[in-house]
Amino acid sequence: MNNIKATWNIELLTSCPKCDYGIDITQIEDFWHTQIEPIEYGTVATTDFEVTCPECTHEFKVDFEYYEWSDYQNKKFYAQPK
């Protein structure tokens, strides 16, 4: 009997500082050619990462971050200033 499947669902979410458009960086075609590992952050590759807003073409840089589940429960994630 086959086990039930468990599916990874990875998103890397940010928003454009100019138009506030929500962006999932993993949906940008070039992202998967970067060799960046899932949940990698605090490295050269994940600092000053250049993003072009698909809505308004504004270019900006992001630093990746990752929260453990316990941090979500402590609401650190939701306390982030917009």
Q: How far apart are CA 13 and CA 15, in angstroms?
A: 7
12 touching Zn ion, by CB under 5 A: no
Q: By CB under 5 A, what part of segment 27-66 binds Zn ion?
A: 53, 55-56, 58
Q: How far is the CB of 54 from Zn ion (least distance, A)?
A: 8
What are the CB-based long-range contacts (under 8 Å, 24+) for 60-68?
A: 60/16, 60/17, 60/18, 62/14, 62/25, 64/12, 64/36, 64/40, 65/41, 66/39, 66/41
The residue (of 6 and 13) whose beta carbon lies closer to Zn ion is 13
Q: How far is the CB of 81 from Zn ion (least distance, A)?
A: 18
The residue (of 60 and 64) whose beta carbon lies closer to Zn ion is 60
Tell me which residues touch Zn ion (CB under 5 A): 16, 18-19, 21, 53, 55-56, 58
